[in-house]
Amino acid sequence: MDGWILVIGSALPDPAADVDACYRFVMELSRKLGHVQFFSANRVLNHHAWVQVEAGRVRRAYAWAGQTLWKQGLKTTAEVDLGLKCFDYLELMERTSFGTPDTIVTNVEKVPALAARWSIDPASIDERLFEHARGIAGESSRLKEF
């Protein structure tokens, strides 16, 4: 779509469950495809992540799930413009007072806006476009070697 290949679904690695699996996933895709972006936002738990990888090198990555799981690279202009807060490893989050927006909730709400600035906001895609789009759904039939 608009020059991008989108992979959307619940089978993608969850950085909160295993940030190393997420890292391996985006790195493998990048080695095959070049530029890869990954976005994750869980509005229930407020976990969130965004990653940009180019030719197998992480340009920017941030993942949070109760604490910072992955922070690599410099903040992008889009992150700064959107006011995203990226905590350092082991940095304690300050409690917000009543009526003040929670930084973590705000980050989660802005993940689609960051996706839109970096590439495409998947939430804005009209599902009717998929009726005429080419694509493959499912898993590879090739057996994995153990």
* Closest of 106, 99, 96, 100 to residue 64, by C-alpha: 106
- How far is it, in rounded angstroms, from Cα 71 to Cα 49? 10
With the C-alpha atoms ordered 14, 18, 23, 29, is the resulting torsion angle positive or negative? negative
3-state class (DSSP) for residue 59? strand
Taking the complete model, does pTM exceed 0.85, yes or no? no
User: What ranges in the chain are assigned the alpha helix state H?
Assistant: 19-33, 77-82, 103-118
Domain spans in the chain, listed from the N-terminal domain onward:
19-126
For residue range 57-115, list pLDDT tens digits in order.
999 999 999 999 999 999 999 999 999 999 999 887 766 555 445 889 999 999 999 99
